[in-house]
Amino acid sequence: MALLGAGLAGGAQAADLTLCWAAWDPANALVELSKDYEAQSGNTMHFEFVPWPNFADRMLNELNSGGKLCDLMIGDSQWIGLGAEAGHYVKLNDFFDANGISMGDFIPATVTGYAEWPKGTPNYWALPAFADVVGWTYRKDWFDRPDLRAEYKEKYGRDLAVPATLAELRDIAEFFQGREIDGKTVYGAAIYTERGSEGITLGVTNWLYNYGFEYGNPGNPYELDGFVNSAGAVKGLEAYKALYDCCTPPGSSDWYMSETIDAYKSGQVALQMNFAFIWPGVNADPNVGGAKSGYFANPPGPAGQFAQLGGQGISVVSYSDEQAAALDYIKWFAQPEVQQRWWDKSGAPALRAVVDAPGFVGSQPYAQAFLDSMAIVKDFWAEPTYAELLLAMQNRIHRYVIAGEGTAQDALDALVADWVEVFKDDGKL
């Protein structure tokens, strides 16, 4: 293997690099993986991990202030427009070309979602680092019980199995709601309802997309009326509220990733909405792991099958004094053998040489669901003003779904007005 340590070339001092990311299980896996880089390069890795609820505020403040804390940033997919246009991230095209790194070697959706700005152009500001998407976990052991299977088939006229549609998912959640299993009252589904950051938005979009919601006119991306608030989008929002009202645990009005996984692992629910990053932990869990759980992609609705993209790319921060060494780390991370070890350590690689390999599907019980999910992704706005766009959607959706204010049409009409105001202020309209 060629010497990777750019910081050591020509007798230069070894570099100290700080990588900034969210505080979650994949970050811990990356610390372990990066020990290989330290051994090979002579550089020293430091890590700044911030809990998800505070991640955006903390790290965007760091970038906006021109801070030098982070040499490498695994920033959320929505930040790519801001990172590029505000000059926070180093453009990577020349580096990729010089080192034989091709974006064609990565899952296309991750290139669009994590690396490109403007979208649809070959201008790259990150390397896809962690491929993630909203999917579903279910209690396979409950689904396999003969008594429950017989009762479900009698009621619904079909087998109790992975739902083929969002409507079937609602039926399954309703079937389990309030049921007693092993002497404990259980509930249908744990879904995203969180108000403060991004939770309910990244939950409801899995319904909105599949009922016909669009972020704008494909021919005019800032023409919102009739697309954001289309008749299909209204039905999708109504369906998400109906699922919340009928089939979720008591007290679940402000739930996001940690709350839904806690509900699932403690045996409260039959179905769990969550990003795929949680699947390795579910599989290893002593209470619900192994054959007790199964995994599936977000089911289709009347207008198609899509799932909300998560995940992040890794960027070099333009304010870093160690840009050469930071680029060296990205070069190391992009290697196929490193990407394979990333998967082995419960990371989520986007490199096609790993995920398209013949043995990938059989490598983990959730691998097929991961591939199925990554093939149907859509993402939220990545505009530099994404934070204002997100806060508006959080507000309008939560007030309708959770607080029961007004109608779905009212909520989406108001969201159109909010977003139009944001784009006008940004000079896009």
Q: How far apart are CA 308 and CA 303, in angstroms?
A: 15
Q: What CATH number is given for 134-308 in this structure?
A: 3.40.190.10
Phi-psi region of 114 (alpha: psi -120 to 50; beta: other; left: phi over 0): alpha
| 404 Cβ contact partners less than 8 Å away, ≥ 6 residues apart | none
Q: Which residue has the tokens 């299993």?
A: 181
Cβ atoms of 270 and 106 closer than 8 Å: no
pLDDT in tens, 379-394: 999 999 999 999 999 9
Q: How far apart are CA 293 and CA 290, in angstroms?
A: 6
pLDDT tops 70 at residue 150: yes
Q: How far apart are CA 91 and CA 53, in angstroms?
A: 28
User: Sorting pLDDT into bands at 50, 70 and 90, what band is 11?
Assistant: very low
Percent of the chain having pLDDT more than 70? Answer: 97
pLDDT in tens, 154-200: 999 999 999 999 999 999 999 999 999 999 999 999 999 999 999 99
Q: How far apart are CA 237 and CA 191, in angstroms?
A: 14
The reply to whether 6-132+310-378 and 134-308 are identical in fold is: yes
pLDDT tops 60 at residue 370: yes
Q: How far apart are CA 100 and CA 87, in angstroms?
A: 24
Q: How far apart are CA 356 and CA 248, in angstroms?
A: 36
Do you find a cis peptide bond into 118, omega within 30 degrees of 0?
Answer: yes
Q: How far apart are CA 306 and CA 373, in angstroms?
A: 8
- With b for 16 or more beta-carbon neighbours within 10 A and e for fewer, the 95-115 pattern comes to bbeeeebebebbbebbbbbbb
On average, the pLDDT of the chain sits at 96
| 367 Cβ contact partners less than 8 Å away, ≥ 6 residues apart | 360, 361
pLDDT in tens, 271-322: 999 999 999 999 999 999 999 999 999 999 999 999 999 999 999 999 999 9
Q: Which residue has the tokens 């690396």?
A: 115
Q: How far apart are CA 319 and CA 64, in angstroms?
A: 10
- Mean pLDDT over residues 396-425, rounded? 98
Q: How far apart are CA 228 and CA 429, in angstroms?
A: 16
Give the pLDDT confidence score for residue 13 in this predicted structure.
77
If DSSP codes are grouped into helix, strand and coil, which group holds residue 192?
A: coil
pLDDT in tens, 67-101: 999 999 999 999 999 999 999 999 999 999 999 99
pLDDT tops 70 at residue 14: yes
Pairing mode of beta strands 72-76, 16-23: parallel
Give the pLDDT confidence score for residue 9 in this predicted structure.
43
Residue ranges per domain, the chain? 6-132+310-378, 134-308
Percent of the chain having pLDDT more than 90? Answer: 96
Give the pLDDT confidence score for residue 6 in this predicted structure.
42
Query: Which residues does residue 314 pair with via DSSP β-bridges, in sequence order?
Result: 74, 127
pLDDT tops 60 at residue 8: no
Pairing mode of beta strands 127-139, 180-181: unpaired
6-132+310-378 folds as D-Maltodextrin-Binding Protein; domain 2 (3.40.190)
Give the pLDDT confidence score for residue 4 in this predicted structure.
44
Does residue 234 or residue 5 have the better pLDDT? 234
pLDDT in tens, 215-242: 999 999 899 999 999 999 999 999 999 9
Give the pLDDT confidence score for residue 12 in this predicted structure.
55
